[in-house]
Amino acid sequence: MILASYINDLLYRYDCVIVPNFGGFVSNVVSAKINAFSHTLYPPTKQITFNAHLKNNDGLLANYIASSENISFEQATAKIAAIVNSWNAQLKSESLVVDAIGSFSLNKQQQLVFEPNNTTNYLTATFGMTPVSSPAVKREVYKQQAQKVVPVTGTKKSSNIFTYAATAAILLTLGAIGWNGYQENQLKEAYAKQQKSIEKKIQSATFVIDNPLPTIQLNVVKETKNFHIVAGAFEFQKNAEKKLKQLKAKGFDAQIIGKNKWELIQVTYGSFATRIEAYKNLKSIRDNHSKDAWLLIKKLQ
């Protein structure tokens, strides 16, 4: 049994999760904040702290483990105690990492020191949001430079020379333009003839594929749904089928997943492939339909 994963699950739903004879994890909502130096915006989150004085068993963790693993409350409590003993033994020689929640170590006074893992956000209202970084905006300043006007000086004779030179340049340019225009027309006619020849060859061509590509077969792995939101357990088949019809009439993907160890027929609101998706739907069902709904982790045959 991985105790840390059960604690991690409960922190999404509750503000305090107590591990008997070890301590309690307490969460507090922290508003969104911005780091002016790194230009990073952080979404609202739940900040996790640890209180070593909260050691009394409130039943939350043990009941959740009992329902998830289909064992008794006493068996779940005994498993928690065994893991806590192994944690305490490990802390005497090295630090202890508790899944994605954080890490523990002992200081010189043999007191527990908790370092939370700030990369995990337990606030479901902002689930999926990540820190956003943006580079600083740099504004460029343009300076307009005044242009200097250089006066032209010279004699009337030099002015006439420049006039003749400009006239000759214009005549040469016009001649070049005429020659270039003639060449351009010749190239256009040649290109048009070439295009017509290519189109005729394409229309008369026959395409034959001698070596066709082989058929590709894709093996699609069926998605397994091991997380079930249980609506109720019934002794008689007709009562289970009646509940199933009621849930389907409300739009749920309900189904009967078999009997539990007490031979009761279990009816679910739906089944999901991931733990996060299951918790999201469980919260919605508890808020809008039934507070008695609970999560069952079970691999169906």
DSSP symbols for 95-114: -EEETTTEEEEE-TTS-EEE
Q: Which two tokens stand for residue 87?
A: 């944690």
- φ/ψ (deg, to 5) at 151: -70, 145
| pLDDT, tens only, 43-66 | 888 889 999 899 898 899 999 999
- pLDDT for the residue 210: 56
Backbone angles phi, psi at 211, to 5 degrees: -120, 85
Contact (CB, 8 A) for 58 and 286: no
- Give the fold, CATH level 3, of 227-297: Alpha-Beta Plaits (3.30.70)
Segment 127-140 shows an average pLDDT of 71
For residue 47, the model assigns a pLDDT of: 85
Q: Say yes or no to pLDDT of 127 above 80.
A: no
pLDDT mean over 163-173: 57
Mean pLDDT, to the nearest integer, of 246-259?
A: 92
pLDDT confidence of 24, banded at 50, 70, 90? very high
Residue in 64, 10, 60, 13 with CA at minimum distance from that of residue 297:
64
Query: What pLDDT digit, counting tens, does each position of 110-120 carry?
Result: 888 999 988 88
Q: Is the pLDDT reported for residue 256 higher than 70?
A: yes
**96 pLDDT more than 70:** yes
pLDDT value for 254:
92
The residue to which tokens 């779940």 are assigned = 76
Give strand pairing partners of 96: 104
Q: Which pLDDT value is given to residue 72?
A: 92
272 pLDDT band (50/70/90 cuts)?
very high
Residue 211 has pLDDT above 90, yes or no: no
Decide: 122 and 48 in contact? Cβ < 8 Å: yes
> What pLDDT, on the 0 to 100 scale, is given for residue 144?
61
In the chain the beta strands, taken as DSSP E runs, fall at 16-19, 23-30, 33-35, 40-42, 45-51, 96-98, 102-106, 112-116, 132-133, 227-234, 255-259, 265-272, 294-297
Query: What local confidence, expressed as pLDDT, does residue 19 receive?
Result: 94
Q: Does pLDDT of 91 surpass 80?
A: yes
Q: Which residues contact 81 (CB under 8 A, 6 or more apart)?
A: 20, 21
pLDDT of residue 120: 81
Domain ranges (residues) in the chain:
3-133, 227-297
Top pLDDT among 95 and 136 is at 95
| Residues paired with 114 in a beta bridge | 104
Average pLDDT over residues 1-7: 83
**Where residue 99 falls among pLDDT bands split at 50, 70, 90?**
confident
Query: What is the model's pLDDT at position 299?
Result: 79
Single-letter amino acid, residue 166: A
* pLDDT at residue number 145: 60
In which band, very low, low, confident or very high, does the pLDDT at 281 lie, cut at 50, 70 and 90?
very high
5-15 tens-digit pLDDT: 899 889 888 99
Answer yes or no: is pLDDT of 258 > 70: yes
> Residue 83 — pLDDT band, cuts 50, 70, 90?
very high
Q: What is the pLDDT of residue 133?
A: 77
